Amino acid sequence: MTATESPERRSMGDRVYDAIFTNRLWRSIFRSGYPNTPRNQMLAVATNVFLHLHPTRIHRTHVKITHTFCLGGLSFFLFLGLTISGVLLMFYYVPSVERAYEDILALETDVRFGQLMRNMHRWMAHGMVLTVLMHMMRVFYTGAYKPPREFNWVVGVVLLVLTLLLSFTGYLLPWDQLALWAITVGTNMVGSAPLLGEPNRFVLVGGFQVGQSALIRFYTLHVIGLPLMAAVFMTVHFWRIRRDGGLARPL
């Protein structure tokens, strides 16, 4: 699979091309050459674990931006961005009532790019709630929930709930007045359910009011429990898109 059909007259460009894309290191990683022929383009998608989320071919209407507005993809993109910025924030943040607020202050003043990291994490979090809601609307208005995609719609609803919970648990972490009282109002809503409401609120908050136990519970859910669940459901979501025959098409 060299670039030229007649190896006798290879130009400089061909030599460089072959040196980069046919050597043993490249081949050990990517299996196929640079995707410049239809065959290699399909191989590139089919043999790469990340690109393999896609089929190798796709209907032309689905490539139009106005069909999906990239909203599902953007939700996923924001999830990845939140994971990366979130890990960086975890380097500086200790989930304790004594330290949390000071850590955020220090992040904003002492840590290089700390304020930027926090801002990005916050805006991406708000953005993800919006893109997920809008993605749901685009799926609805394109009638893409209909059989055989019913179950993937249900998986989507679970992802919506997980997205809201991720955002809600993160809201408490800065431990400022906004955080404390928003979570107090929110968890009190849970507490108002008949019979099981108050016990549930107690488990969620870990006490009668939002304090250290609530902070550590929300933190743990926010950085590991909920992201793991979201990742699992996203895996199912993407898998199902392909199993259901790609994006919905008019019959």
Partner 1 sequence: MAAANTQPVAASRAVEARKRRQREEELLVWPDLVFIEFISAVLFTVLIVALAVLVDAILLDRANPAVTPNPSKAPWYFLNLQELLLHMHPALAGVIVPTVALIALGAIPYWDNTAEGQGEWLSTPRAWLNTYVGAGVGSVGTLLLILFDDAQHAKMWEKLTGTDWPIPALRNLRAIQNEIPWPESWLKVPLGDKLLRTDLLGLPKISLNVNIPGLIVEQIIPISTMVGLPILLSIVAWKAKIAQTKRDHMILQFSGFIAVYVTLTIIGTYMRGEGLALVPYTIFAGDH
Name the residue nearer to ligand HEM (CB basis): 210 or 248: 248
For 142, the token pair is: 């394109």
Phi, psi (rounded to 5 degrees) for 174: -65, -15
Instruction: Tell me: does residue 238 bind partner 1 (CB under 8 A).
Output: no
Number of Cβ within a 10 Å radius of residue 223: 21
With CB under 6 A as the contact rule, the residue among 163, 167, 169, 187 that binds ligand HEM is: 163
Distance CA 242, CA 128 (A): 23
Q: Which of residues 191-250 bind ligand HEM (CB under 6 A)?
A: 234, 237, 241, 247-248
With CB under 6 A as the contact rule, the residue among 30, 34, 92, 153 that binds ligand HEM is: 153
Give the CA distances from residue 239 to residues 10, 54, 131, in Å, rounded to whole numbers and listed in that order: 43, 9, 20
Name the residue nearer to partner 1 (CB basis): 32 or 223: 32
Distance CA 108, CA 117 (A): 9
Instruction: Tell me: does residue 149 bind ligand HEM (CB under 6 A).
Output: yes
Tell me which of partner 1, ligand HEM, none is bound by residue 201, counting a contact when its beta carbon lies within the kind-specific cut-off of 5 to 8 angstroms.
Answer: none
Distance CA 211, CA 96 (A): 9
Tell me which of partner 1, ligand HEM, none is bound by residue 159, counting a contact when its beta carbon lies within the kind-specific cut-off of 5 to 8 angstroms.
Answer: ligand HEM
Tell me which of ligand HEM, partner 1, none is bound by residue 179, counting a contact when its beta carbon lies within the kind-specific cut-off of 5 to 8 angstroms.
Answer: partner 1
Tell me which of ligand HEM, partner 1, none is bound by residue 94, counting a contact when its beta carbon lies within the kind-specific cut-off of 5 to 8 angstroms.
Answer: none
Number of Cβ within a 10 Å radius of residue 35: 17
